[in-house]
A = this chain, B = another copy of it.
Amino acid sequence: MIIELKNDAKPETVEGIKIFLEEKNLPYRFHHIYQKDVFTVVSETDEEVLNILGKMTGIDEIIQDKSEFPLASKSFKNEPTSFCVKNNIIGGNNINIVAGPCSIESEEQIFGIAEFLSKSGIKFIRGGAYKPRTSPYRFQGLGLDGLKLIRAAADEYGLAVVTEVLDSSLIDQTYPYADILQIGSRNMHNFHFLKLLGRIDKPVMLKRGMSAPIAEWLMAAEYILTEGNEKVILCERGIRSFDNLVRNTMDIAAIPMLKNLSHLPVWADPSHGTGRRELVAPVSMAAVAAGADGLIIEIHPDPAKALSDGAQSLYLDQFTALLSQLKVIAQAINRPIDPQISKQTKNLNLCVE
């Protein structure tokens, strides 16, 4: 249950509701989220409770449907959510582009890529320090050393870092090195983990589960929102299907579907979404044409030698070529790519952190 307060609700109202919920033994959290005061009550409730709350003043709306995602929905907040990461605006009408290797492999590799991105005008670098590999006998990532390397490279070249937190036990370790915490497809259904991510103050990029219906995905985002973290990015990365010619099936329609249902920014990962290098460029173009608010793309200076995901990583010159095509499409549909915060936008509420 969500209890949404009126904008002018008085402190006594808030106190009254707290006392009432505690009396009734209903576990709740109270947040100021998307400029509204909201109680989230994570428990079954009965008619009596609803009746009493219904009579209280200061309450704007009580949302009851348990199979829904009230905080993530457009009915809660109609305009697209946007927020800042370093000097970049995420969401809104903007398109963000993230690129980098699947795994952080060495100082040389990650600094080389950071330099390349910086020269290409890219603002976000990706790279994994802990790799979720299907087989225990494959390269598992550099761990903490990898995190330190990507942070140093990003700082050197003025980039923001997107990197995966692999497990709840690794949040503390990853947090200081990341600007955006990526939650992988394999963790989308880990509700305990999602709750912990709802309690931190950095943006979370939540990838879709391999076989998650859109409603389940939005409910996973809701787990983060109910704990008070309002900076959630959804990222379509392909679903599991029957055709083994591709690694995953990019669900392109998920992008406009999410934009219709939710105010959250929607990114696309055409690298995992296809698993094949030659499909990354056309699917990137398609994602932007379908309305995606961002792309996250795997690149590698020498994909054949990549320690993971080589088959889906673009060569650097392929990325450069794709970038100029993307600019043409973005311009045709009037969407800026990675605009920087001006003095004017700095004043916006969204960027005051």
Contact = CB atoms under 8 A, between A and B. Distances in A.
Interface of A: 1-2, 40-44, 66-69, 130, 132-140, 166-170, 186-187, 189-193, 195-196, 209-211, 213-216, 219, 222-223, 226, 239-246, 249-253, 255-257, 260, 273-274, 276, 278-279, 282-283, 285-291, 307, 325, 328-329, 331-333
Contacts of A196: 169
A333 B290 CA distance: 15
Given A134-B219, A137-B66, A286-B289, A278 B250 contact: no
Contacts of A252: 250, 252, 283, 286
Contact of A136 (B42, B44, B140, B279): B42
A344 B335 CA distance: 39
Contacts of A209: 210
24 contacts: A41-B137, A43-B139, A44-B138, A44-B307, A66-B137, A67-B135, A68-B135, A133-B191, A134-B189, A135-B222, A136-B223, A166-B192, A167-B190, A167-B193, A186-B191, A210-B211, A246-B257, A250-B252, A253-B282, A256-B283, A285-B289, A289-B290, A325-B333, A328-B333
Contacts of A290: 282-283, 285-286, 289
A25 to B, nearest CB: 13
A282 B307 contact: no
A170 B67 CA distance: 26
Contacts of A167: 168, 190, 192-193
A249 B246 contact: no
Given A130-B192, A168-B168, A240-B242, A279 B257 contact: yes
Contacts of A40: 136-137
Given A136-B222, A289-B329, 7 more contacts: A40-B136, A42-B137, A44-B307, A167-B193, A241-B249, A245-B257, A249-B251
A252 B250 CA distance: 7
Given A137-B66, A274-B253, A241 B243 contact: no
B278 A282 contact: no
Given A135-B219, A244-B213, A278-B260, A190 B187 contact: yes
A57 to B, nearest CB: 24
Nearest to A307: B44
Q: Which of A192, A215, A245, A274 has the most CB of B within 10 A?
A: A192
A139 to B, nearest CB: 6
Given A135-B222, A256-B278, A140 B332 contact: no
Nearest to A227: B136
A350 B145 CA distance: 41
A332 B328 CA distance: 6
A172 B249 CA distance: 38
Contacts of A168: 167-169
Given A167-B190, A213-B243, A239-B249, A137 B1 contact: yes
A170 B169 CA distance: 10
A215 to B, nearest CB: 7
A209 B289 CA distance: 26
